[in-house]
Structure 1
């Protein structure tokens, strides 16, 4: 068998040191409990009976469409398994229909006046406190705030503040299992900024450090390349993009703004903008990093997003 690289490890001289650092920072542990699903409920449609109601609906559908007689009529090979599975699913839906709950203030909720969102955050806190007392609060629960990428982090943090303050005041504590979902993470700095807000809330609410945990949601990964579209690292750092060893012609770059992953032709005039990137004729695409030209050429693909002007 022929290979091109005689000794691949010789190309990675720092691997062992990096591996030791990894094991020290992230020691291997036995995997803990993980929910089988996460249920998102729009904040304006959530109350203290939501989980019980959803469980009741699921049980009703199970009993209506999967009858015990039909389970028992299955083949001899699968009948014992089918019967046991039916019993376990029924018991699960009766005891714990939702393992992980997110009260949604983002896509499932939309943009609303501040007073209305405040009111829904207060009502959600009241519902969570009631569920905690009644024993119906899922073992993992929390809310999904609005993304910082939407441009209004103050609204996002205020909703979280109103909600958490209300829960702690009404329940006398923060019930275990809280997790916040931080969506549409487009910039790494947003993570540190959100973590600082959580730390401030911990101090203000008298919670131990590390109590408020969050999960990040990367919903719009930027395409890194394909057989026809190549990502040039120079695109992120600024002009010029990286060039190939045998040519000084810049590689085509994938737009960092467009969700379609448009290829930007190397021959396009630098600085040409379009209505998609900028409403001002002649201004440069915000993702392009070229100076603007006084008059963009009609029909020329934009170096920033790949669409025609």
Structure 2
């Protein structure tokens, strides 16, 4: 048997499969992933919204410093890190909401609010006061709201003139693959008039998206229909739960039906470059519910992180302190062990754990995520792992570049 001839024959047999694999599973998306998306109704958004949210979040911690410190385990270092994050980057990703958080206010009002919000976003970017990532959530492409959703999209983007880096359009209540393709078509038409590239994220909040009429999930087809523009799947806790018939009192991020949907999302998105975001909790930490709300939010954010959902929704400034406490605490608690294992793996030295390349990839990704969100510093990463960030990116198979 001629081995070279056999290899050539197998190459020919698997050529199309190799091309499909490279096309459909390109790997991680370049750039950092925000740890949260903050939803703000469009009529309440203005050029200094991010600044105001930062100050509000910081003040609630200062007003209840003793209770917050106790909540996070009397960790003075974590407390300082949370306050620093709230001061410098309290909102990583802002979504200007024209859907459920905004409601139906009539065409004239929504047109005016879309134009005003676009002007405010431009002003905040020019002043250096915007969040690193931003976007809008339009109304769904279901028949009843289709025209209104497209009208807001077109009006907002035209008013922008230039699509900012890190800007996405959130498509809610998706019930068919064709809706994703339709939004891509709208993007292509709009890009004939404005500068920049439009991208989208899909809210997974209908049972139809998780299990289609033919008995399989539609999420991989949505990725294909996104034509390289689909950046993320975001879980919609309450719409999905209600559609599944779950009573209001039992609707939660940790309900088994929610966990099932998110597990499907996770499998569908793996290796595609499409990121994942968990949903929200509607128990707000305000008034006499401040501490119970903080406790629940801290626990649920930590739970999401442990399950591989590194992003979630926030709906109130008082949720920002617990978002960053949970996130920074998660990455700092795991950093020492991850760094030790990476140093041993890269150096080929002895370790109590025999890590394989796939595990080293996960360890490197963990450290890089901690670095991205500010939970750890580059100097301590280098000192503890003995590796540069570029070497860690190689191990994590992360592409270089992006926002």
Name the TM-score, length of structure 2 as normaliser. 0.46
CA distance in 1, matches of 2:28, 2:243: 37
User: Which protein has the larger Cα radius of gyration, Structure 1 or Structure 2?
Assistant: 1
Counterpart of 1:60 in structure 2 is 59
Unaligned runs of 5+ residues in structure 2 are 1-12, 216-241, 247-403
Could you say if the C-alpha distance between residues 147 and 83 of structure 1 is closer, same or farther in structure 2, counting changes exceeding 3 Å? same
After TM superposition, the structure 1 = structure 2 runs for residues 33-182 of structure 1, keeping only pairs within 5 Å, are 33-67=32-66, 82-168=75-161, 173-182=162-171
CA distance in 2, matches of 1:30, 1:151: 34
CA distance in 1, matches of 2:66, 2:76: 11
Cα RMSD (Å): 3.3
Could you say if the C-alpha distance between residues 232 and 184 of structure 1 is closer, same or farther in structure 2, counting changes exceeding 3 Å? closer
Cα offset, 1:261, TM superposition: 6.3
Counterpart of 1:219 in structure 2 is 205
Q: 1 or 2, which has the higher helix percentage?
A: 2
CA distance in 1, matches of 2:131, 2:210: 38
Cα offset, 1:176, TM superposition: 1.3
Name the TM-score, length of structure 1 as normaliser. 0.59
CA distance in 1, matches of 2:204, 2:213: 22
Cα offset, 1:57, TM superposition: 0.8
Cα offset, 1:174, TM superposition: 2.8
Asked if the contact 1:125/1:163 (under 8 Å) is kept, the reply is yes
Counterpart of 2:187 in structure 1 is 198
Cα offset, 1:158, TM superposition: 1.3
Cα offset, 1:134, TM superposition: 1.2
Cα offset, 1:17, TM superposition: 6.9
Could you say if the C-alpha distance between residues 24 and 133 of structure 1 is closer, same or farther in structure 2, counting changes exceeding 3 Å? closer
Match status 1:259 vs 2:243: yes
CA distance in 2, matches of 1:15, 1:65: 62
Cα offset, 1:18, TM superposition: 4.9
Match status 1:183 vs 2:182: no
Cα offset, 1:32, TM superposition: 3.7
1:121-160 C-alpha deviation (Å, 9 max, x unpaired): 0110111011011111111101000001152322211111
Asked if the contact 1:141/1:177 (under 8 Å) is kept, the reply is yes
Asked if the contact 1:181/1:216 (under 8 Å) is kept, the reply is yes
CA distance in 1, matches of 2:28, 2:151: 36
CA distance in 2, matches of 1:59, 1:195: 39
Asked if the contact 1:54/1:97 (under 8 Å) is kept, the reply is yes
Cα offset, 1:192, TM superposition: 0.7
Could you say if the C-alpha distance between residues 44 and 223 of structure 1 is closer, same or farther in structure 2, counting changes exceeding 3 Å? closer
